[in-house]
Structure 1
Amino acid sequence: MSTLAYDGTALLGRQLRRIRNNPGLLILTQTTPITMLLFFGYVFGSAVAMPGTEYRAFLVPGLLAATASGGIMTGMFQAAQDTHRGVTDRLRTLPVSRAAVPLGQAAADLVVTAAGLIPFLLVALAVGWRFEGTALDALAALTLLLLFRLACTWVGILLGLASRNEEAAGQLGSVTFVLPLLSSAYIPTENLTGWLRALAEWNPISALTTALRDLSGTAPVPTDAAWPVTHPVAGTLVWSAVLVALTAPLAVRRYTRG
């Protein structure tokens, strides 16, 4: 096993133990999507007209995409917390691969996210959502979701290492809640004004949301939208690749330099 893989696996275990020892944060992050599904689905569901589909079914893929984008907040907070408390400095003194520390954090986040999908999807099924695609479609949807979550986590790790402060990371992380609001996660974008519609359709979350809706059979792909939305699978792959390519090397360099 290579040094990076061995060190990354060890630091993955450290991150998972860290999450286990902070059950409050784990419960909060896992129950928030469920709470939003019940709140938006039942409070606003009757007020949102959705031709051809029920709003709660329309909302589920959007919340899954919003959960994936939440990797920015969790990645930022955990990286900033380690830096602020001196853990990162101690890790730098150890003979481990420099890329292994942020890689272990990103991998642990994926494990927790995948596990958190189970209770959310059970509640989604209970409120009426159904996955109408094939097993291959389900695998593709899961792959896209986790890939985008990984990309967002790398963005968060870079921002957390740059901020170096828990409080600043927490305040900046709260801003990320706005990102799904400026997308097709909660509402269709067809009736938005020109500039706002363009902003929403070029939001990476819209590409993932549309891909999940198409693969699950919830809603068809729009034909009169921006390229990432009319080609949602390719759009999600491109956005994810670009985000990882830009932020992962910068995060590793930032960790190495301190």
Structure 2
Amino acid sequence: MTRRELAHWARQPVQVLVGLVFPVMLLLMFGYLVGGGRTVDGDYVDYLVPGMLTLTMAFGLEGTMTAVTRDLDKGVIDRFRSMPMADGVVLVGRAAADMLQSAVGLLVLIGVGHAIGWRVEGGPGAALGALGLLLLLRFAMLWIGIFLALVAGRAELVQAVQILVWPVGFLSNAFASPDSMPGWLGTVVEWNPVSATATAVRDLFGSPGGEPGHLTAAVAWPLALLALFLPLAVRRFGRLGK
């Protein structure tokens, strides 16, 4: 199933390229055109890059969601379900392919961040831990997207459902510190799973805005989301056509 999804990359290189370039455009736009870094201690780019790395893990789910709904529309899922395989294998294969693309996207964005002046101040072990937290968040967000795609059922509804994910990303501390926001909004941002990961990642990378106390939340939030949405997605998939 994973090889099948990876084969689509060769046939749809533009879609893969757009997925890699879009986060870079956001990073450059907020870093040089929009960003001001109010209440951020230190250079704003140093604060922004880990936030963008985190935000990228929450965005870009529409590719996976569209692939799932496209297979549903074409009857491919029905053929797979007639084969002797576990219900979740098709979904796991799609998730594995997306995780590989997400890892490549992280490396590209890290390279661009390094080019515009951001540096990893923590040790190699801390940096690997930060990458692990980012990919853990991505894996959890993927299963939310897969479940929503199965609920939507049709490719034309993916865009509408995808909009539900955007507030989760933008209502975070990816671009600005909660200290610069109204009190109630800052509280909402602090409780956002994306904010927990961004803060923990900043700490591990040695970037401004990092706080070591957020490491537990950065692990607990994705695991809780996985525990909820992975079984829901597999159960929903198993009930298709029944």
Q: Which of the five TM-score ranges fits, normalised by the shorter chain?
A: over 0.9
Structure 1 portions without partners, runs of 5+: 1-10, 223-229
Match in the other structure for 2:32: 42
Match in the other structure for 1:253: 235
Match in the other structure for 2:117: 128
Q: Is the 8 A contact 1:58 1:219 kept in 2?
A: yes
Equivalent residues in 2 for 1:200-239, closer than 5 Å: 200-221=189-210, 231-239=213-221
- The structural deviation recorded for 1:51 is 4.3
SS in 1 for 2:119: coil
Name the CA distance, whole Å, in 2 between partners of 1:35 and 1:71: 14
Name the CA distance, whole Å, in 1 between partners of 2:210 and 2:107: 26
Of all paired residues, the percent bearing the same amino acid is: 36
Residue among 205, 223, 226 paired with 1:241: 223
Residue among 143, 148, 158 paired with 1:154: 143
Residues 171 and 24 of structure 1, relative CA distance in 2, 3 Å threshold: farther
Equivalent residues in 2 for 1:173-212, closer than 5 Å: 173-212=162-201
Match in the other structure for 2:71: 82
Residue among 42, 53, 64 paired with 1:64: 53
Residue among 18, 21, 33 paired with 2:23: 33
> Which is further off, 67-76 or 11-20?
67-76
Match in the other structure for 2:127: 138
Q: Is the 8 A contact 2:58 2:138 kept in 1?
A: yes
> Which is further off, 21-30 or 158-167?
21-30
Residues 193 and 52 of structure 1, relative CA distance in 2, 3 Å threshold: closer
SS in 1 for 2:144: helix
Q: Is the 8 A contact 1:75 1:155 kept in 2?
A: no
Structure 1 residues 16-62: Cα deviation after superposition (integer angstroms, max 9, x where no partner)? 112332212111111111001111111023x3335431112211111
Name the CA distance, whole Å, in 1 between partners of 2:149 and 2:9: 17
RMSD, aligned α-carbons: 1.6
- The structural deviation recorded for 1:136 is 0.6
Structure 1 residues 126-145: Cα deviation after superposition (integer angstroms, max 9, x where no partner)? 11100001011011011111
Calculate the TM-score normalised by the size of structure 2: 0.93
> Which is further off, 137-146 or 17-26?
17-26
- The structural deviation recorded for 1:177 is 2.7
Structure 2 portions without partners, runs of 5+: none
Aligned residues: 240
Calculate the TM-score normalised by the size of structure 1: 0.88
Q: Is the 8 A contact 1:158 1:250 kept in 2?
A: yes
Q: Is the 8 A contact 1:180 1:186 kept in 2?
A: no
Name the CA distance, whole Å, in 1 between partners of 2:202 and 2:232: 33
Q: Is the 8 A contact 1:68 1:149 kept in 2?
A: yes
Name the CA distance, whole Å, in 2 between partners of 1:195 and 1:220: 20
Name the CA distance, whole Å, in 2 between partners of 1:132 and 1:239: 26
> Which is further off, 152-161 or 87-96?
87-96
SS in 2 for 1:251: helix
Name the CA distance, whole Å, in 1 between partners of 2:145 and 2:100: 17
